[in-house]
Amino acid sequence: TRGPTFYPVACMPQVWAAAAPLYMLQACLGLGFDPERLHVTFDEPTLPDFLGEVTLRDLRLDGGAVDVALRRSGGKVVVDVLDRRGPLRVLTTS
């Protein structure tokens, strides 16, 4: 018997599905990057009810990197910078 027929785009739906949770997290956190100003931004971050805290490590931009923790506090999401390497700045809008 022969194996499955080769179908070059068969893995495309799986790739999209694997990335979906990361895109959803990025959207919830309002995560963005401004390479010209070397800013990592969080625009009105929110966390789903089932998630009390998220830690992002080694967010890189133009030779710098940051580690941040986002947590719920008093009905808002607070962004704490745990470590910063290089000239990056972390900005949060609410």
Owning domain of residue 79: 12-93
Q: Establish if 7 belongs to a structural domain.
A: no
3-state SS assignment for residue 45: coil
Note the pLDDT tens digit of each residue in 27-74. Answer: 999 999 999 999 999 999 999 889 999 999 999 999 999 999 999 998
Nearest to 56 by CA among 73, 37, 40: 40
Burial 10-47 (b: 16+ CB within 10 A, else e): eeeeeeeeeeeeeeebeebbbbeeeeeeeebbbeebeb
Q: Which secondary structure element, helix H or strand E, spans residue 66, and what is its range?
A: strand 64-73
At 45, which CATH number?
2.60.420.10
Residue whose structure tokens are 């931004």:
41
Name the band, by pLDDT with cuts 50, 70 and 90, for residue 94.
confident
| Residue 32, domain member (yes or no) | yes
pLDDT > 70? residue 81? yes
Number of domains present in the structure of the chain: 1
Query: Is the pTM above the cut of 0.85?
Result: no
Residue 80 lies in a domain: yes
Stretch 19-30: mean pLDDT? 92
